[in-house]
Structure 1
Amino acid sequence: MSHRELYCDVCEGVAPFEAPPCVDGHGIDCPELVCTDCGAAVMIATFIAPVPRLAEGRRHRPTRRAA
């Protein structure tokens, strides 16, 4: 089990959280965490967002606004 300290809304303070045994095969990277003080559960969601890239050799120029 992995241990982390996070803010717990139920305890209203920082508390140790741990990942319970994961049945989905995530291991220590399981997004489900449980507060070891009160038992509140949280889920950490991660996602990948595409970042647009400019073509090589082009520089981004900020748009000018007329005053």
Structure 2
Amino acid sequence: MSDRELYCDTCEGVVLFEAPPCADGHGADCPELVCTGCGAAVLIATFAFRAPRLGRRRGTTRPPHRRAA
């Protein structure tokens, strides 16, 4: 089991959280953590986003439309 100190909303303070035995095979890197004070569970998730493409949009290769005055 791994443990960390995090803020618990239920306990209203920083408490020790530990990862329970993981059935999914994550080991010490399991994203599920349990508060040792009250038993509240949290899920720590990280997301990887691709950088947006800053190239030209499709369909904008023609010159802008000009109106007569």
AA at the equivalent of 2:10: V
Deviation at 1:51, TM superposition (A): 1.7
Identity of aligned residues (%): 78
- Aligned counterpart, 1:19: 19
**Alignment deviations for residues 15-48 of structure 1 (CA, whole Å, 9 cap, x no partner):** 0000000000000100000000110000011111
AA at the equivalent of 2:16: P
Unaligned runs of 5+ in 2: 55-69
The RMSD of aligned alpha carbons is 1.4
- Aligned counterpart, 1:5: 5
Where 2:28 maps in the other structure, the secondary structure is helix
Q: Output the CA distance in 2 between the equivalents of 1:48 and 1:35.
A: 26
State the aligned residue count.
55
Highest CA radius of gyration, 1 or 2?
2
- Aligned counterpart, 1:58: none
Q: Output the CA distance in 2 between the equivalents of 1:29 and 1:3.
A: 10
- Aligned counterpart, 1:33: 33
TM-score norm. by structure 1 comes to 0.75
TM-score norm. by structure 2 comes to 0.73
Q: Output the CA distance in 1 between the equivalents of 2:4 and 2:44.
A: 12
